[in-house]
């Protein structure tokens, strides 16, 4: 089946819309991250990663968190 000009244009338009939507989502996420860091002075993503690193699994599937 050959692609018609209108099908090609429609495909291009859909791709552009997806790219625009992805950019907007990334910008919103970055803005939210900046707000959180600016208002609290804490990077919660890094803090969450550190917190998970300090998790130790004990007997009976109980977790203990090492505080520094």
9-61 confidence digits (pLDDT tens): 999 999 999 999 999 999 888 888 777 666 667 777 888 888 888 888 888 88
Phi, psi of 62, deg, nearest 5: -95, 140
Q: What is the pTM of this model?
A: 0.43
Please check whether residue 23 lies inside any domain of the structure: yes
Please check whether residue 34 lies inside any domain of the structure: yes
Range of the domain at 27: 7-65
Please check whether residue 1 lies inside any domain of the structure: no
Q: With b meaning 16 or more CB within 10 Å and e meaning fewer, what string describes 37-56?
A: eeeeeeeeeeeeeeeeeeee
Q: Which SS3 state, helix, strand or coil, does residue 65 take?
A: strand
Structural domains of the chain, count: 1
- DSSP bridge partners of 55: 65
Instruction: Output the pLDDT for position 37.
Output: 66
């Amino acid at each position: 089946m050959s692609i018609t000009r209108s099908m090609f244009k429609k495909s291009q338009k859909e791709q552009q819309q997806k790219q625009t939507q992805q950019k907007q989502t990334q910008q919103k996420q970055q803005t939210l991250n900046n707000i959180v860091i600016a208002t609290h002075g804490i990077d919660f993503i890094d803090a969450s990663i550190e917190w998970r690193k300090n998790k130790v699994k004990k007997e009976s599937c109980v977790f203990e968190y090492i505080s520094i």
